[in-house]
Amino acid sequence: MSNKTTAIACSNIALIKYWGNFDARLRMPLNDSLSMNLDALTTQTTVEFEDALEQDVVVVNDAAADEKTWNRVREHLDRLRALAKISTHARVHSRNNFPSATGLASSASAFAALTLAGARAAGLALEERALSIVARQGSGSAARSIPSGFVEWLAATNVTSTSDQSYARQLMPPDAWDLRDVIAIVSRDAKKVGSSEGHALVNTSPFLGERISRLPTRYHRVRRELLNKNLKGMGTEIEAEAIELHLLAMTSRPPIFYWAPATVRVMDAVRQWREEGLQAYYTLDAGPNVHVLVEAKDADEVASRLRTFADVQDVIVSGAGGGARVNDAHLF
């Protein structure tokens, strides 16, 4: 009854961050966010619903998923089963093209690929917007890995807003701007505090109200400069935005510190390089690794400078990536 389907999706780096939910159960965010898909960081996932299975089988990077991951995938499959009106269990194999020990988040690419492969395997013909809405409920940032290129995720935070109003859509195709994300891996450790816990704690930061009231101005400025392909115009706002996410985390109760000493060293160096004329700006996820945004012509220079740091363990360079898509390279 099921069509075995394989999908591939990119991770994404947020320029305006998602941090905190308006509705935690449905993962409806507190604010609009902006991102760039990363073509160097992808997840490939194969899904098949099989009548003979007594429970869902989940394999990630060739190993059986741990209980936490299995539960989260099962919940996501339940969403798809409810839409397709089926109760069959599924076999899911998923693989990242980047080493899982980079400390880089994979939930965006993972839930985007799982949503597309799972929907098709269940016989659902969902459009991009519907896929984004379903992906969002698995991991918020996954909503942004469904469309291609540079993406905005609309929050929908009115009291009357419904889940189907919070979805991501393309702002610009990936080839519209030759931007590069040069990622300095400063720690390969898995995060001590996952983003779901971080979102849940954001209301305990005394600075949340301030952030939410100021954010629309920043959002519109970054969005405008992104569409103008003006890195200088959006760069310092992006840096302030990244720091603000971490300020909220650090002032939550209990506080969450994601930075490592090398995080600060790289951030300082980027500011210094800029004073010397190199147009480079950093941003951060909920982790210690530093994403340095540059135009393509500067990517090699920045990558080789970052490699000279004793505590930078690896450097990954990524361009803007496409949206979630199906292919024939089944993993089982």
Interface residues toward ligand PMV, by CB under 6 A: 14, 17-19, 33, 105, 107-108, 139-141, 195-196, 199, 245, 285-286
Select 58 or 108, whichever has its Cβ closest to ligand PMV: 108
Select 76 or 305, whichever has its Cβ closest to ligand PMV: 76
Token pair recorded at residue 289: 């690794």
CB of 29 to ligand PMV, least distance (A): 8
CB of 159 to ligand PMV, least distance (A): 23
Contacts of 323 (CB under 8 A, 6+ apart): 9, 10, 37, 128, 145, 146, 147, 148, 149, 170
Select 66 or 300, whichever has its Cβ closest to ligand PMV: 66
Select 56 or 285, whichever has its Cβ closest to ligand PMV: 285
Select 188 or 274, whichever has its Cβ closest to ligand PMV: 188
In 3D space, the residue among 159, 154, 115 whose CA is nearest the CA of residue 135 turns out to be 115
CB of 153 to ligand PMV, least distance (A): 8
Q: Count how many Cα atoms sit within 13 Å of the Cα of residue 135 in the half-sphere of its side chain.
A: 34
Select 5 or 137, whichever has its Cβ closest to ligand PMV: 137
In 3D space, the residue among 267, 295, 303 whose CA is nearest the CA of residue 283 turns out to be 267
Select 286 or 290, whichever has its Cβ closest to ligand PMV: 286
213 vs 152: CA distance, rounded Å: 19
CB of 281 to ligand PMV, least distance (A): 16
For residue 197, with 0-12 CB atoms within 10 Å meaning exposed, 13-18 middle and 19 or more buried, which class applies?
A: middle
23 vs 218: CA distance, rounded Å: 23
CB of 105 to ligand PMV, least distance (A): 6
CB of 107 to ligand PMV, least distance (A): 5
CB of 194 to ligand PMV, least distance (A): 7
9 vs 47: CA distance, rounded Å: 14
What sections of 172-250 are H helices per DSSP? Answer: 195-201, 208-227, 231-250
CB of 211 to ligand PMV, least distance (A): 13
Select 193 or 331, whichever has its Cβ closest to ligand PMV: 193
In 3D space, the residue among 140, 176, 131, 220 whose CA is nearest the CA of residue 321 turns out to be 176
Q: Which helix (H) or strand (E) holds 261?
A: helix 261-275
Token pair recorded at residue 76: 């996501």
Angle formed by the axes of helices 299-307 and 261-275, nearest 10°: 140
